[in-house]
Chains A and B, each alone.
Chain A
Amino acid sequence: MTNYTVELNKLVKYFGRRLIFDGIDYSFQSGHVYGISGPNGSGKSTLVKIIACLISPTKGSIKHSFDGKTVEEEALHNFLGFVSPYLFLYDEFTAEENLIHVSKVRGIKFNKERSDFLLNEFNLYERKSDLLRGFSSGMKQRLKFAFALLHKPQLLILDEPTSNLDNSGKEKVYQFIQSEGKTKLVLVASNEEADLALCEKVLELQNFKNLQPRQ
């Protein structure tokens, strides 16, 4: 099992004068599936974006470590797999072309065997040569999992992972969360009870809301 950790130190996030969350101190370790939950607007997506270093916190810091060594922000994309409803792939490319381009831009050789395996697992193999603009939202969501898992990341961040998916798609996602969570670090941000049932620990964001206005 690999040793990937994410430490959140006194995280505070404001959007303008509106406080999203305040004082999150938490540590995530590989080999576990963590949940992040809270009502709409509680900052689940904001928190996962901060963890993925896509946006900055107003105060506080995040530290990513892999086998005891700090992972620099510049290199984080090599360790990270990310799925969310607000992630979009390229409509003008086919499913397979998307994965080929993504691999090359990451600087890794395209692993056709793994790509075929993931496309097959997510029931997209037959449509791998079709342009994405002809895909349904559920199919696009399935492809995002192939996109996130292709480079075998140490940290998997799943924001509302089952949105737009049918029951078979949800089952497949749950299987992957469970299998990846045995050796890697998986974070699931969701309000769905079925999604959170897979998580060993759940971070409730409504507990981190100090109602003091910003000074």
Chain B
Amino acid sequence: MKSFALFKKDWESELRTRYAINALAMFVLVTISVIMFSIGDEKITEYLTGGLLWVVIFFSAMSGLSRAFVSEEERGTTLTLQLIASPTTIFSGKLLFNLILVFLMNIAITILFSMLFDSFVVKNLSLFIVAFLLGNIGIAISSTIIAAIISKASSKGTLYPVLSFPILLPLILTLLELTKFSMDGNSISSSIVEIAVLFSYDVIMGTASYLLFDFIWKD
């Protein structure tokens, strides 16, 4: 409940300042436009479109999801948060905010891709949805804990994608594989190993983040 209250505070703050939403929307539009200009009239393969989808998602996440903690640090309100809530509440609230943001952003990106790229055809939608759900949860968890780490650093902008890349790489590679499978029309049962990898990634990152956050948050 306290975490939800923190999420609500962040959401209302975001609706007023529009810092993350504007950054994400602009980034998504610019990136997709650049891809479309660079492709021109060329026909690109299904697999390449699937790959591009996750590239856009990865970099969009890098441009907006760090705001959860960075904005608190920049405005000097980190101390206020420390004085009103436990670290677990703060992490849960920020994670909830990033989860909602990731899902909204990625649904918008996927819809844009399916409208703009003819070759983006998913034959097994249920497999794609499973990958999409688990992938988004993984991206939100990783982005939130990395945002907490970099919010204390002086060069936040550079550090975020640099730190995120090795942490998100196994997730993105698995998501690329599953997107390819869903485009091939493979069944969920034949992709169970990749789904298990995604699920394990989410559980491991979630557990590690909750355990580490106390140390990151203090000092």
Interface set of A (CB-CB < 8 Å, partner B): 52-56, 74-75, 77, 80, 82, 84, 86-93, 97, 101-102, 104-107, 147
Residues on the B chain within 8 Å of A107, using CB: 1-2, 5
Contact between A77 and B86 (Cβ–Cβ < 8 Å)? Answer: yes
Interface of B is mostly: helix
* 7 closest A-B pairs by CB: A104-B5, A88-B76, A101-B9, A107-B2, A92-B16, A105-B5, A74-B86
Which of A74, A89, A97 contacts B80, CB < 8 Å?
Answer: A89
Some 11 contacts from A to B, beta carbons below 8 A apart, are A77-B83, A77-B84, A87-B79, A87-B80, A88-B75, A89-B80, A93-B13, A101-B5, A105-B84, A106-B84, A107-B5
Contact between A102 and B84 (Cβ–Cβ < 8 Å)? Answer: yes
Whether a CB of chain A sits under 8 angstroms from the CB of B6 is yes
Whether a CB of chain A sits under 8 angstroms from the CB of B107 is no
Whether a CB of chain A sits under 8 angstroms from the CB of B41 is no
Contact between B85 and A90 (Cβ–Cβ < 8 Å)? Answer: no
Nearest B residue to A55 via CB reads B219
Residues on the A chain within 8 Å of B77, using CB: 88-90
Residues on the B chain within 8 Å of A55, using CB: 218-219
Which of B12, B13, B89 contacts A105, CB < 8 Å?
Answer: B89
Nearest B residue to A153 via CB reads B83
Give the Cβ gap from A101 to chain B, nearest Cβ, in Å: 4
Residues on the B chain within 8 Å of A147, using CB: 80
Which of B12, B16, B82, B84 contacts A54, CB < 8 Å?
Answer: B82
Residues on the A chain within 8 Å of B16, using CB: 92-93
Whether a CB of chain A sits under 8 angstroms from the CB of B8 is yes
Contact between B76 and A86 (Cβ–Cβ < 8 Å)? Answer: yes
Assembled-state Cα–Cα distance A101/B89 (Å)? 14
Interface set of B (CB-CB < 8 Å, partner A): 1-2, 5-6, 8-9, 12-13, 16-17, 75-77, 79-89, 93, 218-219
Assembled-state Cα–Cα distance A194/B218 (Å)? 33
Residues on the B chain within 8 Å of A93, using CB: 12-13, 16
Residues on the B chain within 8 Å of A87, using CB: 76, 79-80, 83
Residues on the A chain within 8 Å of B12, using CB: 93, 97, 101
Assembled-state Cα–Cα distance A198/B90 (Å)? 36
Assembled-state Cα–Cα distance A87/B1 (Å)? 25
Which of B75, B83, B88 contacts A52, CB < 8 Å?
Answer: B83
Assembled-state Cα–Cα distance A104/B86 (Å)? 13
Which of A56, A90, A106 contacts B2, CB < 8 Å?
Answer: A106
Interface centre among B77, B86, B87, B218 (most CB of A within 10 A): B86
Which of A56, A80, A97, A105 contacts B6, CB < 8 Å?
Answer: A105
Contact between A92 and B17 (Cβ–Cβ < 8 Å)? Answer: yes
Nearest A residue to B85 via CB reads A105
Assembled-state Cα–Cα distance A92/B15 (Å)? 10
Nearest B residue to A106 via CB reads B84
Give the Cβ gap from B218 to chain A, nearest Cβ, in Å: 7
Contact between A82 and B9 (Cβ–Cβ < 8 Å)? Answer: no
Contact between A54 and B79 (Cβ–Cβ < 8 Å)? Answer: yes
Residues on the A chain within 8 Å of B9, using CB: 90, 101, 104-105
Give the Cβ gap from B207 to chain A, nearest Cβ, in Å: 18
Residues on the A chain within 8 Å of B86, using CB: 74-75, 77
Assembled-state Cα–Cα distance A97/B5 (Å)? 12
Residues on the B chain within 8 Å of A102, using CB: 80, 84
Contact between B80 and A92 (Cβ–Cβ < 8 Å)? Answer: no
